Structure 1
């Protein structure tokens, strides 16, 4: 409502009485915030968004788009809409999102999220929903710029997201979705430079994190968050697989995710990864391995063949079939750059292990050294080095 639309006498009275003017402005501002708080404070909208998110994570892209259109009808010009579309693109293509055509669509939705988040509160970065959506969009941009080797772009987005993260530290009681983002920050602010020391000089101006608090916040987010509840599960599983090296802890999250989202091959591949330690692979459903192999995406075929090799080696004891599967796994991923190194290294390790057991020293050394060369897993490095020590 503009001043020109007010009744003349009311407008005149406001200008005469400064206190009344201030009260009127405050009321207008509170009405504005109430109008904008249409997602997290509205149970009906929360229910619709949660249903949409479930379709996204179950890789039912068309069904998700129908629900996103319904969200858009209820929340026109709200950043939740492009964020949901971005997530739909992400989970339809994960983990290979950095292909130009995919990333252009993905990043375009995230840029629109940022634009609408700024519009939500006039760029003041004060409204919780505006903060959350801009922070989330910039965080995803930073993650995938880094994934594609654009480290300066990643750092730029991370720096912009950091100012919003600081606000999020104070808002997790009001908006539980901040539990996931602050949990991720607290954990990776300490753990990432610990694992990759080259980044330490670049992070000195970021507030220190807290590894245990981060894990606790992620756990809490799995119970309370709206948009980020599933992401919290995914991050916890990934942390216990690739950073804490506690695969048994990852298993409970991955069993839940694969049972809840049976169409999601990415989650199924992570479930199998969590079962690779000790004798746990005996619990691996062979039907999941077959699903991965049958995928028309080479990333999942590569993963499926690596796990099939492990199944033949450890469960059925057919080493000949294991060798064939491991080699096919390596070949299936030959056209993929920047992704799938875990599955390739798992196949090289399996071949090295079999050749070492057969006394084929030269072949064993070659494959074990190859596993170490490309590995991103300390567990694979440790096993390969232990076998090499025995050989040499």
Structure 2
């Protein structure tokens, strides 16, 4: 047994815990016999507080505590906040000062509301993320312990992502720099700690792929270490099997890569269908799964119940997605252009209420409505819809379709 960053490592949690309990029992017995005014009592009080702060049970170690975290995480990704909180609270009894607790609470808020996080909700998330960073640093001031590195890095990353989305550029850059510094530490220990496979894989892939797709950014990346796209993809695939905290995120990012960069929707379908099966209440996965099926051949197998479940969701983001795919179903599979047009228009009305989200679904809806209007000979409105499709387009598929239709007007 040895201590690293004040955290017990290299021991099974229960053996470490039992040893510490016996030691504390002896100390407490001695402590109770010391006069309250004794300087020795002050020393022992400080020691006991430090022991209470640095919990011996660790998340990366297999055992009861890790199982609680796993079960809580499953409920987080199934957007079941009450069930998630039940396991978070149980884990907190064993890890009262561990950053995993506030991070899980932040993630629970995120996945119930993803992707439309209001400022009020983010203030609550921000509180938990800041708490996670604070606890990681208090546990390990130099951030050398793998667990503390991971939880601080994840918290910084989520903060950077939100600040960037909201246009807080300098704050986003600051958090991203902190996350990147810890990510580099993760590069060195990824083979021993599979939770780092996600961030290492993403870095290796996008460090090379992003400037390839957007050459204008290439000069800005010269001071970053080189990546490896093939290695990155393999690391992400491993993360879907070997990690437990980042497994779902690895599924989501791999599907995104196969949809947006590698143009292999069938591979994306594999990862997204697995998420839909395991987490039936995860509407984000449902919407992305339908996106992966969005071509006339594959959409024949689209689960209609998923379309209607999105429509019934209270969030305008999911109503947008649901009605867009209902329109596509009516247009391409059922061949009812009137119902398709109605569904597309309804979808896009919902889209107007969320100006910063749902770009793919908006572009897909506008190009679908444009197709119908071209067929009806309503050229002016068709041109307007197709221009809007190009404004929101995130995929080459939609862009090519919009330009093709515009060339026919």
TM-score by length of 1: 0.88
Q: In structure 1, what is the equivalent of residue 384 of structure 2?
A: 366
Is the 2:311–2:319 contact (alpha carbons within 8 Å) kept by the matching residues of 1?
yes
Q: Is the aligned partner of 1:180 residue 2:198?
A: yes
In 2 relative to 1, CA 158–206 (structure 1 residues): closer, same or farther, beyond 3 Å? farther
Q: Is the aligned partner of 1:333 residue 2:333?
A: no
In 2 relative to 1, CA 364–166 (structure 1 residues): closer, same or farther, beyond 3 Å? same
Q: In structure 2, what is the equivalent of residue 85 of structure 1?
A: 105
SS of the residue 2:179 aligns to: helix
What pairs with 1:84-123 in structure 2 (closer than 5 Å)?
84-97=104-117, 99-121=118-140, 123=141
Is the 2:317–2:358 contact (alpha carbons within 8 Å) kept by the matching residues of 1?
yes
Q: Is the aligned partner of 1:141 residue 2:116?
A: no
Q: In structure 1, what is the equivalent of residue 229 of structure 2?
A: 211
Root mean square deviation, CA, Å: 1.9
Q: Deviations over 1:146-185 (max 9, x none)?
A: 2222222222111111111111011112211000111122
Pick one of 269, 277, 285 that aligns with 1:259. 277
In structure 2, C-alpha distance between the alignment counterparts of 1:136 and 1:212, rounded to whole Å: 24
Is the 1:162–1:206 contact (alpha carbons within 8 Å) kept by the matching residues of 2?
no
**Structure 1 unpaired stretches of 5+:** 1-25
In structure 2, C-alpha distance between the alignment counterparts of 1:95 and 1:301, rounded to whole Å: 13
Q: In structure 2, what is the equivalent of residue 314 of structure 1?
A: 332
CA deviation after TM superposition for structure 1 residue 344, in Å: 1.2
In structure 1, C-alpha distance between the alignment counterparts of 2:381 and 2:76, rounded to whole Å: 44
In 2 relative to 1, CA 351–167 (structure 1 residues): closer, same or farther, beyond 3 Å? same
CA deviation after TM superposition for structure 1 residue 237, in Å: 1.0
Q: Deviations over 1:218-277 (max 9, x none)?
A: 100011102111111111112212233322211001110001000111110001000002
Count of residue correspondences: 364
**Structure 2 unpaired stretches of 5+:** 10-54
In structure 2, C-alpha distance between the alignment counterparts of 1:174 and 1:49, rounded to whole Å: 20
In structure 2, C-alpha distance between the alignment counterparts of 1:337 and 1:30, rounded to whole Å: 46
Q: Deviations over 1:78-127 (max 9, x none)?
A: 01101111110110110012x21011111111111111111122x11211
SS of the residue 1:177 aligns to: helix
Is the 1:313–1:322 contact (alpha carbons within 8 Å) kept by the matching residues of 2?
yes
In 2 relative to 1, CA 37–175 (structure 1 residues): closer, same or farther, beyond 3 Å? farther
Q: Is the aligned partner of 1:69 residue 2:89?
A: yes
CA deviation after TM superposition for structure 1 residue 207, in Å: 2.1
Q: In structure 2, what is the equivalent of residue 248 of structure 1?
A: 266
Is the 1:33–1:127 contact (alpha carbons within 8 Å) kept by the matching residues of 2?
no
Is the 1:46–1:226 contact (alpha carbons within 8 Å) kept by the matching residues of 2?
no
TM-score by length of 2: 0.85
CA deviation after TM superposition for structure 1 residue 364, in Å: 2.3
Q: Deviations over 1:279-313 (max 9, x none)?
A: 11111111111111111111111111111100100
In 2 relative to 1, CA 67–386 (structure 1 residues): closer, same or farther, beyond 3 Å? same
